[in-house]
Amino acid sequence: MLKTALLLAVLATAHSAAAHRGCGGHDMIKRNPGGPVIQRRAPTDEASAAQSTGCVETLCGVFVEMRSRRGRLRRADLPDPNTECAAYSYQPVLDIKANYPTIWQTATIQASDTDATSLFATINATLNSKLPNDLPHGTTTGNWTGVSYNASDPDCWWSWHQCTTPAASTGLPADIINVPEPMTWGLGFDDGPNCSHNALYDYLQEQNLKATMFYIGSNVFDWPLQGLRAMADGHQICVHTWSHQYMTAFTNEEAFAELYYARKAIKDVLGVTPLCWRPPYGDVDNRIRTIAQALNLSTIVWSKDTDDWKVNISGVTEADVDANYQAVITGAQNGTYSTYGPIVLNHELNNYTMGEFMKYAPSIMSAFKHVVPIASALNESQPYAESNYTYPTFEQVISNQSATPASEITTSAGSSATGAASGSSSGASSSASSGTSAAKSGTMSRATVALAPILAAIACVFAVPW
C-alpha cells in the first residue's frame, strides 16, 4: 500500500545538518533522544504535602492579609526555586482528580465520563470516514525507527517536513505559526505552569508584558496556584496536552483524551476553557488537527525555535540558543519582520530557559515594536469558550503598554472572598472568574485583580512553615 514509503530514520539522518539552524528547529534526529525532561512530582508528594498543611483558620487569615497587601499571588517571598517547588496540596484539585486520568500518564477516557464518551464517539466516526489512512506514527517518545511513511506527506505531518497547511480537501485550517502584525513578537511559553516561575512572571509584570501560556494539564494539577497566578496576571492560557507526549503516536481515543482532560483541568482549576493548543514537539498531523478542531482548539505552532529546551541534549549548547535568540532579533533589525511577526518557541521549563528569555527580553523589546500575546496579536477578544471573559485587542494592548510605566502597575485584593475556600471545584472556578471579571473591565495592565478569593482558597498552603 505504501509503495513510495521511505524509512524515516534514513531521512532524518539526511536532514540532521539543519539541527543547529534554529529554522523551526525540532528536527527528527535531534528530537529522538528526549525532549524536555519534565520533572514529575513523585506520587507520594501529594500525600505528604497534605499532611504538612494542617491549617488553623485564624492563622490562614493572617497569611491572606499579608499576601493581599503584597498584591501578589505566589508561594514564596523570594523566587527561590527550591522553596517554590515544595509540593503542596490544593483542595479543589484533590476533590476532582478521581474524575481524571493519572497525572503524567497517557490519558484515556474515564469510565464514568459520559460526556467524553459521547463526544469521542462522534469524533471517532468522523476520523474513520474522513481520514481512514491517517494512522498513528511511531512511539509517544518520538521514536520513529522503522516507521514507514508516504513521502508525499498525505497527513501533513509536522514532524516529517514541518507541514503546517493541510490540503484544502481536509477542510482544516492552516496552523498558526506567525502573527499578522509587523514587527511584533508573538510571546508564548510552553510547558507550564512551572513551580518556580515567579521570577519570570514578576519580570513580565514589571515589563507590562502578557504572554500566551501553553499549559500541561498534569502541571496544572501539580501547581494550581502557579496557574492561578497566570490568570490573575492576565496571561492567555492555551492547552499543551495532558501528559506532554508525541501526539501523532496516540490512538484516536488517547489523543482525544490528552486534549479533552487538559482543557477540562484548565476549566476546573483556572475557570476558563481555552480555544487554542500547541502540540508538544510540534508533533501534529491531520488526524490530530481534526480532534483538536472538534474540541474548538486552534493549532498554534511557531516559526522560530530558540531550542532552549534541548541545551546539553544531543549537542545543542547555550551558545546555540543565544544565537537563535539573536537571529530573531537581527531579523527585526534587517527588515525580515516588516510585514508580519514571528511566533517564537521558548519555555517555562526550568531556571535556564526562563532566565534566557529574561536575558534577551530587553533586546527583543528594543528591536521589535511590540511584544504581545497571540490572542492580542490576532484581536481575539474572546480567547475562551466563556463569552464573558474579554481579552485586549492588539490596539488595546499596545496603547496600554506605551501608556503605563511599569512602576505604576499594581494589583490589589478585592473583598469578595466567596466560595473559593470551600474547596469545591466550583470554588476554584469562581475564584478564577473573579480574576476574569477584572480583566473584563478592561484594566489589563493596572489589573485590579480580585485576589482575595484566590488567596482565601490557598491560605492553607501558606501555612506550611518554610
Which active-site residues does the annotation give?
190, 347
113 close to 96: Cβ distance less than 8 angstroms: no
Segment holding 373, helix H or strand E: strand 370-373
Site residues for ligand NAG, 88-127, by CB under 6 A, read: 119, 121, 124
Would you count residue 330 as binding ligand NAG (CB under 6 A)?
yes
Query: Which is nearer to ligand NAG, 89 or 436 (by Cβ)?
Result: 436
Question: Interface with ligand NAG includes 182 (CB under 6 A)?
Answer: no
412 binds ligand NAG per the rule CB under 6 A: no
Residue 332, C-beta contacts closer than 8 angstroms, at least 6 positions apart:
183, 185, 367, 368
**CA 3 vs CA 128, 149, 151, 152: distances in Å:** 22, 9, 10, 11
Measured distance CA(383)–CA(404) in Å, rounded: 23
Judged by beta carbon, residue 1 or residue 111, the one nearer ligand NAG is: 1
Which of 164, 219, 236, 241 is close enough to bind ligand NAG by CB under 6 A? 219
The secondary structure of 112-139 as a DSSP string is T-HHHHHHHHHHHHHHHHH-TT----S-
Which window, 62-70, 324-332, 359-367, 454-462, contacts ligand NAG (CB under 6 A)? 324-332
Q: Please give the Cα distance from 104 to 268 (Å, whole number).
A: 18
Cα 189 to Cα 42, 62, 328, 347, 355: the distances in Å are 24, 34, 16, 5, 12
| 444 binds ligand NAG per the rule CB under 6 A | yes
28 binds ligand NAG (CB under 6 A): no
Query: Can you tell me which of 184, 205, 252, 299 binds ligand NAG, judged by CB under 6 A?
Result: 252
Q: Site for ligand NAG (CB under 6 A): which residue of 295, 398, 417, 457? A: 295
Cis status of the peptide bond prior to 101, with omega within 30 of 0: no
How far CA 324 is from CA of 6, 331, 353, 439, in Å, comes to 31, 11, 13, 34
Residue 299 — φ and ψ, nearest 5°?
-90, 120
Complex with ligand NAG: residue 183 or 327, whichever CB lies closer: 327
Least distance from C-beta 115 to ligand NAG, angstroms? 9
71 binds ligand NAG (CB under 6 A): no
Choose, by CB under 6 A, the member of 58, 111, 129, 146 that binds ligand NAG. 146
Residue 43's SS3 state is helix
Does the protein bind ligand NAG through residue 352 (CB under 6 A)?
yes
- CB environment 323-335: b (16+ within 10 A), e (fewer): bbbeebbebbeee
Pick from 349, 361, 420, 428 the residue near ligand NAG by CB under 6 A: 349
Q: Is 392 in the site for ligand NAG (CB under 6 A)?
A: yes
Q: Which is nearer to ligand NAG, 174 or 403 (CB)?
A: 403
- Among 337, 371, 308, 24, CA closest to 175: 24
Which residue in 122, 334, 339, 410 binds ligand NAG (CB under 6 A)? 334
Single out the segment in contact with ligand NAG by CB under 6 A; choices: 45-53, 190-198, 281-289, 409-417: 190-198
Q: What CA–CA distance (Å, rounded) separates 465 from 458?
A: 14
Asked if 293 interacts with ligand NAG (CB under 6 A), we say no
- Minimum distance, C-beta of residue 447 to ligand NAG, in the bound complex (Å): 8
> How far apart are the C-alpha atoms of 237 and 210, rounded to whole Å?
11
Residues 413-442 as x/- pattern, contact with ligand NAG by CB under 6 A: ----------------x---x--xx--x-x
Q: Which of 13, 39, 165, 410 binds ligand NAG (CB under 6 A)?
A: 39
The candidate with the shortest Cα–Cα distance to 280, out of 252, 324, 249, is 249
For 23, the grid coordinates are 529554522
335 binds ligand NAG (CB under 6 A): yes
Residue 25 CB, nearest distance to ligand NAG (Å)?
A: 14
Would you count residue 25 as binding ligand NAG (CB under 6 A)? no
Query: Cβ–Cβ contacts within 10 Å for residue 420, how many?
Result: 26
13 binds ligand NAG (CB under 6 A): no
Angle, alpha carbons 314-315-319 (nearest 5°): 140
Length of the chain, please? 466
How far is Cα of residue 374 from the mean position of the Cα atoms in its chain? Answer: 12
Interface with ligand NAG includes 303 (CB under 6 A)? Answer: no
Give the interface with ligand NAG as residue ranges (CB under 6 A): 1-4, 32, 38-39, 79-81, 85, 119, 121, 124, 128, 143, 145-146, 150, 152, 154, 180, 194-196, 199-200, 219, 252-253, 295-296, 311-312, 318, 327, 330-331, 334-336, 349-352, 354-355, 358, 378-379, 386, 388, 392-396, 400, 403-404, 429, 433, 436-437, 440, 442-446
